[in-house]
A = this chain, B = another copy of it.
Amino acid sequence: MPTETERPLTIDDLKFDDSGLIPAVVQDWQTLEVLMVAYMNRESLEKTIATGLTHFWSRSRQQFWKKGETSGHVQRVKSIHTDICDRDTLVVRVEQVGAACHEGYRSCFSLQLQDDGTFAVVGERVFDPDAVYGASKGEGTKDTNSTGA
């Protein structure tokens, strides 16, 4: 293995940032579509590994959260990868139940830049956010978004 030491690398060798966070790119394990980008701290990564369901750290709410806790749209982990260069980013391949995006789209990345310089919606809504989250927008708005979560 291309590492400085002979010892195998573990999650102890991941580089969390100054806030104790590591970005996680979440990808559909079959289509490889990027569903969302969110942040994990050490605790949420350990919980993700232990349960097989993704858990994150909400930067906006400064709170630990389990994806799908409100909506039921959990993510079953199929594999976890890190970059061989710095080990400071994760790619998590998941089986997505329902949709990743709290706006009702399967992927958060449903805006595509067009030749005229404007973004167009390219994804289709899988669910109606009001029906899933109701008025409280429980898990929504800042929790299942791409990176604010």
Check B84–A110 contact: CB distance below 8 A.
yes
A: contact size bracket: 35 or more
Which of A8-16, A61-69, A130-138 faces chain B? A8-16
Check A83–B108 contact: CB distance below 8 A.
yes
Check B10–A91 contact: CB distance below 8 A.
no
A13 and B87 CA atoms in complex are apart in Å by 31
The verdict on A19 contacting chain B, using a C-beta distance below 8 Å, is no
Check A85–B103 contact: CB distance below 8 A.
yes
Contact with B along A54-92 (1 / 0, CB 8 A): 000000000000000000000000011111111111010
Known: A33-B32, A91-B109. A119 touches B83 (CB 8 A): no
A120 and B110 CA atoms in complex are apart in Å by 33
Number of copies: 2
Known: A31-B32, A34-B27. A113 touches B81 (CB 8 A): yes
Contact with B along A1-45 (1 / 0, CB 8 A): 110000011110100000000010101000111101100000000
Q: Name the distance in Å between A142's Cβ and chain B's nearest Cβ.
A: 8
Q: Name the distance in Å between A121's Cβ and chain B's nearest Cβ.
A: 6
The verdict on A49 contacting chain B, using a C-beta distance below 8 Å, is yes
Interface residues of A (CB under 8 A from B): 1-2, 8-11, 13, 23, 25, 27, 31-34, 36-37, 49, 79-89, 91, 101-103, 105, 108-113, 117-123, 144-148
